[in-house]
Structure 1
C-alpha cells in the first residue's frame, strides 16, 4: 500500500478529493493533508509519502516550488498536479521535476482520478527496477514510456546520449531527427465518459494505445502515450525524408490508417492535429503547442478532422457579442411567436460565426448574450427557468461540454423550440383568442404607457369584457397581470447584470423609479439592488 498526501489551500477541494473514491482500493492510503507547499514539506519529512497530489496555485509556497523541493530532497516521491487552467504549458515545470500527471479541477471526477492513480501506481511499481531491481512488466513499461514522452513534450532536456539510452531501454522506435508531434483527440469523449465505467475507460485507453502502437510499429518510426482525458500524443520521426511534402504524405497515411482502425475495431471517431516537423527533440514543445492551438479549430470545423497549420482562417474580430440588430430581430420573433423567422436568424448567426472563425472567448461572449436574450423572453411567459431545460445541468456547464459549433447550434435550436412550444401551450391551452392577442400585445409593449382601454381597443373589444376575460381565464386582474409582466422583465435585466435602475424602470414601463422600487419590494420582499446581489427565491 502506497502513502499519499493531499495539498490544496481550499478545504473543500481536499475534502472532495478524499471522498471522491476509495483510495485504498486503488492502492493508496492517505497519510495527511496540507494547505500549502510549506506545510506539505513538513508532512513529507515525517511521513515520507510515495505520492503528493497538489494544487498549483497556493499561498506561502505554490505547487511549482513544492515540486522543485521534492525533486531535490525526495526524488522518489511522485506528484500529480491540480490546475484550474486548461493549459499544458503551465504545468511543464512540474513535469520537468518528475510530476506524473496533472488534473484539471473543473473536469475532476472519480473516473479521471482513478485512472490517474492507476498510472501513478504503475510508475511507483517500477521504482525497484530503476534502483537496480527486476525489469518492469508491460504495464510498468507503458507508465515509463508515458512519462518519457510527456517530458519530451513538456520540454524536459535530454542530451543525445540520454535520449538514445531511454529510447533503447524502453524499446521505442524513435529517431531524434525530424520528429513530427501529432495529437489524437477522441471525439464525443465527455459524453462517452458519462456513460462508461472506470474499467471500460481503461480498456478503451489500452485498446487505442495498442492500435496506434501496432501501426507505428509497422512503420518503424513512432511512439504514442496517453496525455490525459481525450488526448493521446504521437511522435513520428522521418530521418530519411528531407522533403516536407513527403513527410506530410507519410504522416497523413499513418493518421488515415489509425483513424480507420479506431472506427472499424472500436467504433470511435477521432480528430488529429499535426504539428510542424521538429529537427531535434528540443523543438518538440513548440511543435506540440502549435498542434494544441490548431486543435481548437475543431470547434468550427467539426469532428473526425485532420488539422494542419493554416487549416482555418483565424478570427477576424468581426463579433463583439450579439449584435444589436440581430438581438432586435430575435426579440421581435420571440414576442410574435415567429419560429421560422427566429430559426432563420439563428442559422444565419451561426453561419457567420463559422465563416469568421470566431475565437473561443468571442464565442463564449456571444453564447452568453444568446442565453440572456432567451432567459429574458422566457421570464415573460414563465417564472421558472428550469422548465426551459431538459435536465438540471446549469446551461453554462452544458455549453462548456460541447465540442463543436454544430452541437452548440443544435442545443440553441432545441431551447428556442422549447420556448415556442411552452409559449403556444400557454396561449392556446385555456385562453380565448382575445386573451392571447391581449397577452401578446402587453408583452410586446411593456415599456409603453399601456392601459386596459388601449389594449381592448387594439384587439376590438370593450375594456369591461377584456377585464372579465382576464379574471376568468388568467385568474388575476388586468392591472396585476401587467404589473407582474413588468416585474418579470425587470428581474431578467437585473439577473443579466444591468445596473442602472432608472433605465430598467423605464424599459419595463414604470412611470417613476420610486414607483418601481415600491412595487418591486412589495412583490418580492426585497429592493431591486438586493435582488441583483442574490440569492433569489423567485
Structure 2
C-alpha cells in the first residue's frame, strides 16, 4: 500500500515473489482502499507506507490489529519518519523496511515470515509468540532510545531505563563505571551551499551507511544514531577507554578521507568529553555539539575536541544549569535574565560565549519540549549552526535573544495555565499512557515532571477528567490488563508486572473489585475455557 505508483511497481519488480512462496493479490493507493482489499482478498502479509492520503498507514495498522490480527503488517518508512515507525511498531507492525528498499533485506524478511507461517501450521501456538526483531528494527529502537536519553526526554525511572537498555543491548553504555564519548559528524557538500540548496536525502543516506560501516570496522562498541531535527548530522557513541587522540586519529585518517573519496564531500567532526554514569550522558552528548559548533563555516573539514576547545572556559557547572531550569520552571523571567547577565559577561572571549550560549539554549529547548511548546526560533538556530551562532557576534546579542526566547516560552506556559490547564491534563494523560507499566508513578513525581503544585495538579486533573489521577491510572492499568490476559502465553503474574502492579496479589484484588471476577476467571471467559481449567 503506497500512494506512489513507482514505489508499488518497484516493490513488485524488486524480487521473484513466486520463488519465495508469495503471490501479490492486490495493491492500493490509500488506507481505505487497502482495508477494502484486505477484506476481499484476506492476505497473509501487508506492506504499507506510513504517509498516505484518505487514511494514513498508522490508522491502517491499528485497523488491521483490531480486525485482522492474523495479518502480518510491514511498514515502508523514509528515514525522516522514524517517529512514526516507532508508533507503528506499537500498533503491531511485524517489521519495517527503510526506503529505498534493499533487495537483500526484503528477501530476508519474506523468508523469515514464510518460516513463521510454516511453523504456525505445524504448531498453531508458535505463531502467537513474538519473533525476534531483525537487525534493522533493533538498530532503529536503539537509536530512538539513545535519542530520548540525550535529548532529556522525561524518563524518571533509572531502573526502568537500565532494563530497557539491557533488552536493546545498550546496557554497557549505562553502567556507572563505564566511560563513553559522543561524536558529531556533519557532511558538507557543495550542493548545500548553492542558492536555495538543501539536504540531498540520498546523499545523506549514503553518508549514514558509510559512517555505520566505518564504525563497525573501527570498534565493536561504536554506535551511530541520528536526530531528524539536526540535518546533515550523525551522532556516535563509543567507549572512552581510549585517549581522545586515538579518536581524533580515526576521524582524520579514516572517516574524513572516506567521505571525500566516496561522497565527494567534506566532513566536520566534534569530539565530546568522556563521561560516565546515566546522569551524565546528556552532558557528554552536548559537549560534542559544543565542539562541533566551534567549527569553521563553509565547505571545509575540521576536527574539534571539546576538552581542548573548552580548556580555558568549560562553560558552567551542572548546578548552574539546574538553576536556570528551576527559574524557567518557576516562570521567573527576571531571575533568568539576571542569570544571563552573570553568565554572558563582556570579559569572555567569543568562543567562551558561544559555548555558554549553546548550553543555555539546550536548557530552553528542554523546557519547551516538556511543555510541548512550539519553538521555531530555537530550531532555526540549532539547524543553522555553526553560522547562526557566529552571526550573533557578541554577548549582548546572545543575552537579548535568550531572554526574548525565555520570556516567550514563559508567556506561553502562563497562557496555558490561565486557559484552564487542559493542555497540561492532556500531556499528563499521554504520559500515563506511556508509563503505566512503571510502579513508581506518584502524584509528587507527576507534579515534579510537569512543574506544577501537587495539590493544584490533583484538582486540575479531576476537574478535566472527572476522576482523580489515581482512579484514572488504575482504570488505565486494568484496561491494559484485560487486553494482555487474552494472550494465553502470558501468566497472570506477568500481566501484573507489565501493568505496573508490584504485587500480583494486590493486582488480583483490584482486578476483581473493578470487574467482578479474578484475572483467571476473566481470561477463561474471554478465551472460552472451562472455568476449572488450570493455566
TM-score tier after normalising by the smaller chain length: 0.3 to 0.5
Q: TM-score, normalised by structure 1?
A: 0.36
Query: Max radius of gyration: which structure?
Result: 1
